[in-house]
Chain A
């Protein structure tokens, strides 16, 4: 699904991202971890054609994302608050994003039913504009909107941050219940959650891929904790 080759992003002399080769296949649950400034958001921004790479290209289904808009048809994403329209109510926002993907308001309403527990009654029929809602609720709106339109690829930047404990668990379950054909890319600071949800974990440090852990969920959390606590050497 996603193919990155010789992809780098430099700001002057500072290297924000430098990936030699990375492939993400369809249906993969991909977790991205790293300390602040490791390059997680840079990578996602490159995947969504929000910034131009210094070298290399991002290929989505064998088409460069910068060359065509076709990838937008099947990609859903939520990076940060800059994806939300503050002066709208959540319903208006969901309807707006929904119609971009050909969903009418009743389709959207039907789709949002699966989020009833996740929303905890605070999102729909709240009587508030998104700009006046709490950070956690804004995050919930963004995550739900990212899944609108039956995407094949979903990119979520730090979805667990700012969520209360119950919501975090509900989100984990939500992601686990997503259709298996759906490719999910998540970045997180929460090692426990991300190892539970994703089979493949990639560790970024200073823009480079340090570890690429596939299909070993039992030991992954220990390995990550060992890395981050002791800063053990890269093998």
Chain B
């Protein structure tokens, strides 16, 4: 029974639309995955050398075992945030004459085969083969690997349980974060030397392989937690969780003054606020605004001024680019309505441009703080703003008319490759890099001060030519309209 369930799960994976994204993208992703895998295997192989160099007095195995304490804590936190229980998968089976406990065993067993759980193996296996087996022998090596895996599995099952119990309450997350950081901190301060305890425990397992049964027993206990929770709660109504009542918003009064375009900005803001994927992507973009901080040191050298500018430009363009790669595709689920009802395309696109204005002004204000660190950042930030508004925004708006894959904004952004096709790589990257290329050219010809000034002026010209450029973009949209409507009929 569990075997046929697993087979079906395998079929679901293989037939998922994940693989239908075109050969080019799959090859690129495959190469990327291989590259990363090779890197980690390499790192794992030389782990003992790394550890030896950083902590020379202690044995690398002991050091690594100590580090496991921190990875265990981090893993628990990570799972608390990101792990989700695939209970939806078993809904069709609940009606069939299948024993429920078998379904739960299947779900929990399947949850083990996850990248996050198997990842430690990539790191650990080369290390153990190189170091542990030579010093302690094969049996001890096996015991050690088992114990390490048990850490991951323990987190796996406990993570499910915690997630279900606390169900994303922000206070719970914050509380958990503080608690786990506190434990880690107390360890570094030697008040609660848990990492030493971990180190000793693992060394003991190596000396006495039978002790590895203890972690295994712990995992079995941890397994019981989600299993029992499932058994008492696997009803369709309990599983989904009761959704709280939501209130309608009145909208932002200031936007009403912008006319219909303002209403579209409101629609976009509501979309970002109420859908997981755009919200997560933009939160990430906020983090990236701190990126130029690391480039400030290059300001000393006049030659590398362009590097700082490029860092800042890319950081400030990122919110536009990341949201803009699906600018029209976000609305794929109701695109028909937008095309069939009285939606003037000019107001529609203007709304998106005003949204970008919002992003850029916010980024500008935040980046002005860099001016406190170094006054020369101010012209960089100003020119970045002008370039974003006068050049890049238009490019992204234009390229969005080629968003020919539907996208479901409700799904989580994590590991979400929906809507990403060759077009993303080929078209959005030029949007990013065109201003960069222009800047490099200008800098080469005119030197960085004038290069920056000319770039800024091009941006101003772009802003002044708003009307005709938008009209060209709207014409492009009405040309692409039928292809987009057709493309969005696909199931997301």
CB distance from B248 to the nearest CB of A (A): 4
Whether the pair B245, A99 counts as a contact (CB closer than 8 A) is: no
Whether B7 is near chain A, meaning CB under 8 Å from some CB there, is no
Interface string of A146-170 (1 = CB under 8 A from B): 0001000000000000000000000
Nearest B-chain residue to A97, judged by Cβ: B341
Assembly CA distance A113 to B321 (angstroms): 43
Interface string of B318-335 (1 = CB under 8 A from A): 000000000000000111
Whether A83 is near chain B, meaning CB under 8 Å from some CB there, is yes
Whether the pair A82, B333 counts as a contact (CB closer than 8 A) is: yes
Whether B458 is near chain A, meaning CB under 8 Å from some CB there, is no
Whether the pair A96, B342 counts as a contact (CB closer than 8 A) is: no
Whether the pair B341, A89 counts as a contact (CB closer than 8 A) is: no
Whether the pair B342, A52 counts as a contact (CB closer than 8 A) is: no
Whether B410 is near chain A, meaning CB under 8 Å from some CB there, is yes
Whether the pair B271, A50 counts as a contact (CB closer than 8 A) is: no
Other-chain residue from B335, B343, B410 in contact with A100 (beta carbon distance below 8 A)? B343
**A82 and B334 contact, Cβ closer than 8 Å, known pairs A51-B485, A99-B260:** yes
**A87 and B340 contact, Cβ closer than 8 Å, known pairs A51-B485, A51-B486:** no
Which A43-75 residues have C-beta < 8 A from chain B? 48-52, 69, 72-73, 75
Assembly CA distance A77 to B340 (angstroms): 8
Q: CB-CB < 8 A to B336: which residues of A?
A: 50, 79-80, 82-83
Whether A129 is near chain B, meaning CB under 8 Å from some CB there, is yes
CB distance from B329 to the nearest CB of A (A): 14
Whether A88 is near chain B, meaning CB under 8 Å from some CB there, is yes
**A83 and B334 contact, Cβ closer than 8 Å, known pairs A51-B486, A100-B342:** yes
Whether the pair B340, A48 counts as a contact (CB closer than 8 A) is: yes
Q: CB-CB < 8 A to B344: which residues of A?
A: 69
Nearest B-chain residue to A70, judged by Cβ: B342
**A100 and B260 contact, Cβ closer than 8 Å, known pairs A50-B339, A50-B485:** yes
CB distance from A208 to the nearest CB of B (A): 23
Q: CB-CB < 8 A to A105: which residues of B?
A: 250
CB distance from A59 to the nearest CB of B (A): 17
CB distance from A27 to the nearest CB of B (A): 21
Other-chain residue from A77, A80, A81, A127 in contact with B341 (beta carbon distance below 8 A)? A77
Q: CB-CB < 8 A to B270: which residues of A?
A: 87-88, 92
Whether B267 is near chain A, meaning CB under 8 Å from some CB there, is yes
Q: CB-CB < 8 A to A50: which residues of B?
A: 336, 339-340, 482, 485
Interface string of B335-375 (1 = CB under 8 A from A): 11101111111000000000000000000000000000000
Interface string of A181-200 (1 = CB under 8 A from B): 00000000000000000000
Other-chain residue from B246, B271, B410 in contact with A128 (beta carbon distance below 8 A)? B246
Other-chain residue from A72, A75, A82, A96 in contact with B335 (beta carbon distance below 8 A)? A82
Q: CB-CB < 8 A to B99: which residues of A?
A: none
Whether the pair B333, A86 counts as a contact (CB closer than 8 A) is: yes
**A87 and B337 contact, Cβ closer than 8 Å, known pairs A50-B485, A51-B485, A69-B344:** no
Q: CB-CB < 8 A to A99: which residues of B?
A: 260, 263
Whether the pair A149, B342 counts as a contact (CB closer than 8 A) is: yes
**A82 and B337 contact, Cβ closer than 8 Å, known pairs A87-B274, A100-B342, A100-B343:** yes
Whether A84 is near chain B, meaning CB under 8 Å from some CB there, is yes
Other-chain residue from B251, B334, B339, B486 in contact with A86 (beta carbon distance below 8 A)? B334
**A87 and B342 contact, Cβ closer than 8 Å, known pairs A82-B333, A127-B247, A128-B246:** no
Whether the pair A129, B246 counts as a contact (CB closer than 8 A) is: yes
Whether A131 is near chain B, meaning CB under 8 Å from some CB there, is yes
Assembly CA distance A1 to B358 (angstroms): 43
Whether B249 is near chain A, meaning CB under 8 Å from some CB there, is yes
Whether A101 is near chain B, meaning CB under 8 Å from some CB there, is yes
Whether A85 is near chain B, meaning CB under 8 Å from some CB there, is yes
Whether B243 is near chain A, meaning CB under 8 Å from some CB there, is yes
Assembly CA distance A51 to B251 (angstroms): 33
Other-chain residue from A51, A84, A96, A127 in contact with B482 (beta carbon distance below 8 A)? A51
CB distance from B369 to the nearest CB of A (A): 33
Whether B280 is near chain A, meaning CB under 8 Å from some CB there, is no
Whether the pair A84, B334 counts as a contact (CB closer than 8 A) is: yes
Which B236-260 residues have C-beta < 8 A from chain A? 243, 245-251, 260
Whether B423 is near chain A, meaning CB under 8 Å from some CB there, is no
Whether A173 is near chain B, meaning CB under 8 Å from some CB there, is no
Other-chain residue from A49, A96, A100, A132 in contact with B243 (beta carbon distance below 8 A)? A132
Whether the pair A49, B333 counts as a contact (CB closer than 8 A) is: no
Whether A91 is near chain B, meaning CB under 8 Å from some CB there, is yes
Whether the pair A83, B274 counts as a contact (CB closer than 8 A) is: no
Q: CB-CB < 8 A to B424: which residues of A?
A: none
Assembly CA distance A88 to B250 (angstroms): 12
Whether B275 is near chain A, meaning CB under 8 Å from some CB there, is yes
Q: CB-CB < 8 A to B245: which residues of A?
A: 127-128
Whether the pair A87, B275 counts as a contact (CB closer than 8 A) is: yes
Which B6-47 residues have C-beta < 8 A from chain A? none
Provide a sorted-by-A list of 17 A–B residue pairs whose CB atoms are within 8 angstroms: A48-B339, A49-B340, A50-B482, A52-B482, A72-B343, A81-B333, A82-B337, A82-B488, A83-B340, A85-B267, A87-B409, A92-B270, A96-B263, A97-B341, A100-B263, A127-B247, A132-B243
3 interchain residue pairs of minimum CB distance: A127-B245, A83-B337, A91-B248
Give A residues with C-beta under 8 Å from B. Answer: 48-52, 69, 72-73, 75-77, 79-89, 91-92, 95-97, 99-101, 105, 127-129, 131-132, 149
Known: A86-B410, A149-B342. 13 other contacts (CB 8 A): A50-B485, A76-B341, A77-B340, A83-B334, A83-B337, A83-B341, A85-B267, A91-B248, A95-B251, A97-B341, A105-B250, A128-B243, A132-B243
